Chain A
Amino acid sequence: MKLLTSRSKVVVQKKMNLMERLYIPAILGGLLVTIRHLFGRKTTIQFPDEKRKFSPVYRGLQVLKRDENGAERCTACGLCALACPAEAITMDAAERKSGEEHLYREEKYASRYEINMLRCIFCGFCEEACPKQAIYLEGEMALSSFFRGNLVYGKDKLLEPVKTVQDKREVVIL
């Protein structure tokens, strides 16, 4: 018979000897490998109690940032929604009224801002497109819910809380 490849082996059914028929040496050999791994370096962690250290450029869930005075940076310019390849972002704009200057930085703000996390592919284009440094992919990375509707994140989930106004990243002033 002509062989199809050079690597093929001819299988021969040969009779096992006594040692092979006992199986015990083979089982002990396998156990030895398992026991050796018990004392070696562990490759798994107890997620979510333990978390791995991320690279500083990792992309997690989006966070809508506030400026140094605690006002929302987003002006609902729509560039993130335009850049989004998955079309996950939608928003409505509203005009800032007098007396709301401490809440919104510019004269226009997003009254509704939604990211469909089921559509989001975490590419980071929204972060790149934002002219106001308002959106960063620096939040949590694992999201879960029993209902699909809960995974459409509105401003209540995306907006950074007022207390932790600490911009970790260097803000580039254009």
Chain B
Amino acid sequence: MSKITIDNHEIEVEPNTTILNAARKIGGAIVPPAMCYYSSLKESGGKCRVCLVKVTQGSSKDPRPMPKLVASCCTPVQDGMVIQNITSPEVLEARKGIVEMLLINHPLDCPICDQAGECDLQNLAFDHGNQKTRYVEPRRKFEKIDIGPNIKLHMTRCILCYRCVYTANQITDDRIHGVLNRGDAAEIGTYISNAVTNDFSGNMIDVCPVGALTDRTFRFKQRVWFTKPVDAHRSCTKCCGKVVLWFQGENVLRVTARKDQYGEVKEFICNDCRFAQKEMNSWIIDGPRHIEHHSVISQNNYEEITELPTADYGVYGKRVDES
């Protein structure tokens, strides 16, 4: 076991755990944000640089600090490591710069984007970014294309996190899209406009941290914060069948997989559950979905009935047993 310190919190973790996962074991505000790392996808991480942290002491054997900020999602811990995340102004300044870098080619079309309200980049920019952009040059533009019958690709919004590529590699058995070209010309594509039709391809929508891959069956139907999330399940032969239904009134507008507190899907669902089953009677409702209070989706979202006071109140609102 390695004993490490992150922002003055001490914890013992298995050797070869990454700093990010060690921080997630502690939890709270000291967990570095991540745009490309996805715990259920192997080899993910190391692309977006959002999770940079400062290592002020490499290990107990070699207590020199690491010369540069390191990406916490792909740096394993060593015994006696001392890490600074939110206590280091250098890290926060670097993170601000990285958010600005990610937003350079990202269009300002949140009012149109279906991901708005549950977008990782929106939250990241809100928490760590500047309010104004300094970028005046033209942003790169792409035509929006339909990759397959259910998924829409807005390449202008993509931040090249590679999550969808790893999903197609690891969750589905054939991958027909990938990253074409290099450097600033890199783009997600299916090369000669192939259709993504794999049974688990819909999970690319859930892993996408921005609105680059969106659900065509939910396109412009409703803003996410006007829909009510409800946990539900059904017996499915292909997947676990555990989903979140997004209701408006009696209608199921959208079906997604269940995300954990870091926005990651642990149990992927099949396209049949996601796109085809939009009737109420094909699902068994488990209960309201828990939404974090700071999210805009928590607006008007009631998760439980607050119990009425049980004590016996007298005529004048004074408890009888008090007098």
Given contacts A75-B111, A77-B112, contact A94 B223 (CB under 8 A): no
Contact of B299 among A82, A94, A108, A131 (CB under 8 A): A82
| Neighbouring B residues of A101 by C-beta, 8 Å | none
User: In the complex, what's the smallest C-beta–C-beta distance from B50 to chain A, in angstroms?
Assistant: 24
User: In the complex, what's the smallest C-beta–C-beta distance from A98 to chain B, in angstroms?
Assistant: 12
Q: A78, A94, A132: which has the most chain B beta carbons within 10 Å?
A: A78
Residue pair B112, A106 in contact (C-beta under 8 Å): yes
B220 interface residue (CB < 8 Å to A): yes
Residue pair B220, A95 in contact (C-beta under 8 Å): yes
Residue pair A78, B220 in contact (C-beta under 8 Å): no
Chain A: which residue is nearest B299 at the CB level? A82
| Neighbouring B residues of A132 by C-beta, 8 Å | 111
B219 interface residue (CB < 8 Å to A): yes
Q: Complex formed: what's the CA distance from A33 to B232 in Å?
A: 78
CB interface residues, A 76-105, toward B, < 8 Å = 76-79, 81-82, 93-95
| Neighbouring A residues of B283 by C-beta, 8 Å | none
Chain B: interface secondary structure? loop
| Neighbouring A residues of B223 by C-beta, 8 Å | 77-78, 82
Q: Complex formed: what's the CA distance from A94 to B223 in Å?
A: 12
B226 interface residue (CB < 8 Å to A): yes
Q: B110, B112, B225: which has the most chain A beta carbons within 10 Å?
A: B112
Q: Mark contacts of B285-300 with chain A using CB atoms, 8 A cut-off: 1 yes-contact digit, 0 otherwise.
A: 0000000000010010
| Neighbouring B residues of A128 by C-beta, 8 Å | none
User: In the complex, what's the smallest C-beta–C-beta distance from B106 to chain A, in angstroms?
Assistant: 15
| Neighbouring A residues of B109 by C-beta, 8 Å | 106
Residue pair B296, A82 in contact (C-beta under 8 Å): yes
Contact of B220 among A79, A81, A108 (CB under 8 A): A108
Given contacts A75-B111, A75-B112, A107-B112, contact A93 B220 (CB under 8 A): yes
What is the count of residue pairs linking A and B with beta-carbon distances less than 8 angstroms?
35
Q: Mark contacts of B77-119 with chain A using CB atoms, 8 A cut-off: 1 yes-contact digit, 0 otherwise.
A: 0000000000000000000000000000000111110001000
Q: Complex formed: what's the CA distance from A174 to B111 in Å?
A: 14
Residue pair A79, B111 in contact (C-beta under 8 Å): yes
| Neighbouring A residues of B108 by C-beta, 8 Å | 174
Residue pair A108, B225 in contact (C-beta under 8 Å): no
Residue pair B226, A78 in contact (C-beta under 8 Å): yes
Q: Mark contacts of A112-132 with chain B using CB atoms, 8 A cut-off: 1 yes-contact digit, 0 otherwise.
A: 000000000000000000011
| Neighbouring B residues of A94 by C-beta, 8 Å | 220
Q: Complex formed: what's the CA distance from A79 to B221 in Å?
A: 15
Given contacts A95-B220, A108-B220, contact A78 B112 (CB under 8 A): no
| Neighbouring A residues of B220 by C-beta, 8 Å | 76, 93-95, 108
* Subset of 25 A-B contacts with CB under 8 Å: A75-B112, A76-B220, A77-B110, A77-B111, A77-B112, A77-B116, A77-B223, A78-B223, A78-B225, A78-B226, A79-B111, A81-B226, A82-B225, A82-B296, A82-B299, A93-B220, A93-B222, A94-B220, A95-B219, A106-B109, A108-B112, A108-B220, A131-B110, A131-B111, A174-B108
| Residues on A facing B (Cβ under 8 Å) | 75-79, 81-82, 93-95, 106-108, 131-132, 174
13 further contact pairs, Cβ within 8 A, besides A78-B223, A81-B226, A93-B220 = A75-B111, A75-B112, A76-B220, A77-B111, A77-B223, A82-B223, A82-B296, A94-B220, A106-B109, A107-B112, A131-B110, A131-B111, A132-B111
